[in-house]
Amino acid sequence: MTRQRASVLWIMLLTLASMATSLALACTAPVSALAALAAVHMRRRDGIALAVAAWAANQAGGFVVLGYSHDPKTLAWAFGLGTAAAGSAIGACAALSQLKLQSVAARLAIAYVAAFVAGKLVTLCWAMMLGGVAITLHPGYSLDQFLRNGAILIGLYALYRLLVAIGVPAPLRQHPAAA
């Protein structure tokens, strides 16, 4: 299998893991966790593709399975959350591009915080236009999101390590100078 195909495989595997997590925990896609994992182990464009794929799968589940409303505000929020997913991936990659850390744990932690903050900021911009600033900034809700996504990151990283250990080829990584 080529490294490019391995990257596509990882996007699919992690999107499926995200969908399973979202369904099991009745929560939104763990985009911050995915963005952090991707920033450490994948190319920037593959990380963005992963975040958007996870968002799209989550939205498909919401609109098709859970019967989300098709009113303009709900559709605008769906689009807004897609931009927040991409923003999370970009934020995680940007944070790591400024640092030259060797520790995977430190890189994951920094990428995770950057992804979470970037995603929150993009969501806040949408909330200022569509309503929902109070819930977007609510400390309890934000802490719950942060902790839940952090736990999911640990699980996804364990899954990543397990799959690589049993022979699933690692995804194509960013050039070291750009990582």
Tell me the one-letter amino acid at 10: W
- DSSP letter at 166 equals T
- Specify the long-range contacts of residues 107-111, CB closer than 8 Å, at least 24 apart: 107/39, 107/40, 108/36, 108/37, 108/40, 108/153, 108/157, 111/35, 111/36, 111/37, 111/39, 111/40
pLDDT tens digits along 82-102: 999 999 999 999 999 988 888
- DSSP letter at 172 equals P
Provide, rounded to the nearest whole percent, the portion of the chain with pLDDT above 70: 94
End-to-end CA distance of the chain: 23
Q: Is residue 64 scored above 90 in pLDDT?
A: no
The predicted model scores a pTM of 0.90
Q: Taking a C-beta distance cutoff of 8 angstroms, is the pair 40, 96 a contact? A: yes
pLDDT tens digits along 117-175: 999 999 999 999 999 999 999 999 999 999 999 999 999 999 999 999 999 988 877 64
Span 103-124, mean pLDDT?
97
> CA 89 to CA 166: how far, in whole Å?
27
Q: Is residue 179 scored above 70 in pLDDT?
A: no
Tokens in use for 105? Answer: 């744990």
